[in-house]
Structure 1
């Protein structure tokens, strides 16, 4: 699935300008507080996310200058066949040359076929998403991704709140694990108490593959779920709609009751299992809620030691544990110099992490 080849951010929060070609694997952003690390993750999420609405304020503009539009442009490579369809996106397909990092407006035989997405926000605070193409612009045409493609490309963001991802909602990691879908129509006709039991039995069959993946992942990461989790109707749902089906422990306790660290670790492991559907993952403050040995487990579940990397991860951290565990080419220092931000790879020398750990 798609990976980010290039990011350009203009006039967003503390960032006046950032131009960066990230790694296809782990991109761990380090640097002092308020250097713009979290803003980079937020920009990626805003541009590629599958939200129908986005809430922005004047404070999201660089120096509160709403006359200078926010612009976030992301070029995606490693596209699947549907995204390279000439019938759907022909005028918007572009070419990317990895050696020179040049992006051409037309695809070429010697270049990777890519799509470039832009989100622009003006003083009206109304974001507009478009696909970038000089050829389409010359023809007076403009379009964006189909909703289904937008949902598939949307990165998974692991934060402190995980209710969304621990239920079968649109865009949740559980929906990306397999093509299984549960039919809740019969169960929803019953009273909520009876429906929980009735649907729980049926879900073992309908969602068996996904539940087994959750079980294996939780076991491998040492996360207690009391046995094989169940998919049961959420008793706390006021109405039966999106998110009605949520993960519960073997005892029927919603898994959203897990600690923050366990939740983040489980979701990172599940995202790895769903890599064929969604490759990009965003984790702000990697170490939040995790003991040192669990930080190491989380990095392992992201494939930090594997080549090629199974996921493209954008991470922020202040943890010396993460600095020691990651290679120099997975660490990127964020700095502001004059009127622009720069993201610089630490290097590939084996002992370079130790120097940064000692100084952090």
Structure 2
């Protein structure tokens, strides 16, 4: 069945201009609030939806400028025989080059045959649908898909309200599961005389295949329906129509009484079963009403892990659970840039899949601080906890996510993809080991921000050399609590050449003691603070309370970092 090859949107809501070539399977749109993710889904629905009436207002025009018409064009490939019919659509068949994205107005051998559908809305708010063809434009001829073809390519949108799709209404997913239809004439007469059960028995025979598919799908997705489903007359219908035949459980309760999450999950599974007849699905805020394990089920039902996608999905999400489950080729970052919107595939460059798995929440934040290691991550978290407790806005509220690069050699492997995807990104690193100079230069030249400790120093050096004496003693006490007095004493004695021990360091804070403690704190074996939780405790309990009494250069560096963090969002 038809799949979308290209989407062009002009002057629709917050989108002034967007030109996007979506993927063959799942397309998960992410980005900051009001970036246009939901508007893209609405544009697809408006252009391809099988509806006779559409409610539009001046607010649907970009900048409320009704003098600039809304125009949405969608190019469809993988056409079935009916859509490639020479008799019906010959003047409108075009060719699509999947490598370059170029569309020619004549079919060409070796390229895919496509149709381009357009909807235009002027100041009169009356949408006009048509097929695109320069050849026919010259002849001033316009036509659109037949209603049957329009109904077949119409995407199925799964929202909070599911009554439409849980009854045999026009365009519902139930009508796309099979060709069978119920003959309701006799049953509807009886329904007027309280004949719900009688019709249910008749419908079971007429809709058996569909009911079996729905029952099986619900079972596969772990949705309890109390046994085989039945098609019964909906007692809440005001008038008898196709929508009067609705899904009911074995106990006679309408399936529309299911929770939001169960309904969305069931409908996604049914859409999968109906993919041969309806291959495009739209889901806004995928996670709505679903627990994490059910989010994974829903993505699985959409074919997220399958090499040959069973359907083409357009979804939006703010859930790290969903991001972690997807590949970089399925995640699209939507951003506004220089008056136009850009939809960029995260992709697989820089081994980004590891970052997706470990830090999915970073892809949902406007700003990302990539730290060399867990110590830096913990320090920033600890400072933030302390400052938030004293009335400042938290980094999470400011839209900042922290990423642990797990070593200087991986800093720009982690940071570069975010920069290339137009995130606001900075790096925080030690200076005792140097990263690749070219990578760092390119990162800064591309708009990334660099923070580092002073020349030759790691974070441990900065802490023990910059904090006042009481804070240094507190650091030593933390280390003793984390690792035990015996281990700390042995490290200090060994690294000082038997000239210092734990007792001596506790008795007097001297420049020599500070240097030895810093060296011990960053040993490869048994380092003092190199976990997020330990460094967070140090940042909260030691560094933050004594920060204003610290070395001015260290304080200035922390202040610069915090200024960047507070400017996020």
Which interval holds the TM-score relative to the shorter structure?
over 0.9
Please give the secondary structure, in 2, of the residue aligned with 1:16. Answer: strand
CA shift digits 1:113-144 (9 cap, x unpaired): 00000000000000000000011112231100
* Deviation of the 1:271 alpha carbon: 0.1
Please give the secondary structure, in 1, of the residue aligned with 2:242. Answer: coil
Please give the secondary structure, in 2, of the residue aligned with 1:223. Answer: coil
Q: Which moved more, 1:283-292 or 1:183-192?
A: 183-192
8 Å contact 2:169–2:243 — kept in the other structure?
A: yes
* 2:82 pairs with 1:82: yes
Please give the secondary structure, in 2, of the residue aligned with 1:231. Answer: strand
CA RMSD of aligned residues (A): 0.9
8 Å contact 2:79–2:113 — kept in the other structure?
A: yes
CA shift digits 1:42-69 (9 cap, x unpaired): 0000000001010000000000000000
How far, CA to CA, are the matches of 2:246 and 2:89 in structure 1?
36
Q: Which residue of 1 aligns with 2:167?
A: 167
How far, CA to CA, are the matches of 2:20 and 2:355 in structure 1?
22
How far, CA to CA, are the matches of 2:198 and 2:361 in structure 1?
56
* 2:142 pairs with 1:147: no
Q: Which residue of 1 aligns with 2:304?
A: 304
Question: Which of the pair is proportionally richer in strand?
Answer: 1
* Deviation of the 1:354 alpha carbon: 3.1
1:171-182 matched pairs, under 5 angstroms: 171-182=171-182
8 Å contact 2:191–2:233 — kept in the other structure?
A: no
* 2:142 pairs with 1:105: no
Q: Which residue of 1 aligns with 2:210?
A: 210
Matched residue pairs, number?
A: 360
Q: Which residue of 2 aligns with 1:221?
A: 221
* Deviation of the 1:356 alpha carbon: 5.2
Task: Name stretches of at least 5 consecutive residues in structure 2 with no aligned partner.
Answer: 365-569
How far, CA to CA, are the matches of 1:191 and 1:268 in structure 2?
31
Looking at both structures, which has the greater relative contact order when contacts are Cα pairs under 8 Å and sequence separation is at least 6? 1
Q: Which residue of 1 aligns with 2:280?
A: 280
Q: Which residue of 2 aligns with 1:325?
A: 325
* Deviation of the 1:355 alpha carbon: 5.8
Please give the secondary structure, in 1, of the residue aligned with 2:232. Answer: strand
8 Å contact 2:94–2:115 — kept in the other structure?
A: yes
1:225-264 matched pairs, under 5 angstroms: 225-264=225-264
Length-normalised TM-score, structure 1: 0.99
Please give the secondary structure, in 1, of the residue aligned with 2:71. Answer: strand
How far, CA to CA, are the matches of 2:99 and 2:125 in structure 1?
38
CA shift digits 1:304-351 (9 cap, x unpaired): 000110010000000000010000000000000121000000112331
Length-normalised TM-score, structure 2: 0.63
1:7-46 matched pairs, under 5 angstroms: 7-46=7-46
Please give the secondary structure, in 2, of the residue aligned with 1:303. Answer: coil
* 2:360 pairs with 1:357: yes
How far, CA to CA, are the matches of 2:91 and 2:225 in structure 1?
49
Please give the secondary structure, in 2, of the residue aligned with 1:343. Answer: strand
Q: Which residue of 2 aligns with 1:123?
A: 123
* 2:5 pairs with 1:2: no
Q: Which residue of 2 aligns with 1:338?
A: 338
CA shift digits 1:221-244 (9 cap, x unpaired): 010111111000111111101301
Q: Which residue of 1 aligns with 2:265?
A: 265
Distance 1:133 1:181, change over 3 A: same
How far, CA to CA, are the matches of 1:50 and 1:186 in structure 2?
29
How far, CA to CA, are the matches of 1:119 and 1:95 in structure 2?
20
* Deviation of the 1:353 alpha carbon: 1.3
Distance 1:107 1:160, change over 3 A: same
Question: Which of the pair is proportionally richer in helix?
Answer: 2
Please give the secondary structure, in 1, of the residue aligned with 2:266. Answer: helix
Task: Name stretches of at least 5 consecutive residues in structure 1 with no aligned partner.
Answer: none
How far, CA to CA, are the matches of 1:202 and 1:217 in structure 2?
23
How far, CA to CA, are the matches of 1:340 and 1:95 in structure 2?
26
Please give the secondary structure, in 1, of the residue aligned with 2:243. Answer: coil
How far, CA to CA, are the matches of 2:138 and 2:66 in structure 1?
28
How far, CA to CA, are the matches of 2:193 and 2:298 in structure 1?
37
Distance 1:84 1:13, change over 3 A: same
How far, CA to CA, are the matches of 2:191 and 2:126 in structure 1?
42
How far, CA to CA, are the matches of 2:217 and 2:191 in structure 1?
33
How far, CA to CA, are the matches of 2:212 and 2:55 in structure 1?
37
Q: Which residue of 2 aligns with 1:313?
A: 313
Q: Which has the larger radius of gyration?
A: 2
Please give the secondary structure, in 2, of the residue aligned with 1:136. Answer: helix
* Deviation of the 1:191 alpha carbon: 4.3
CA shift digits 1:12-57 (9 cap, x unpaired): 0000000000001000001111110000000000000001010000
How far, CA to CA, are the matches of 1:218 and 1:12 in structure 2?
37
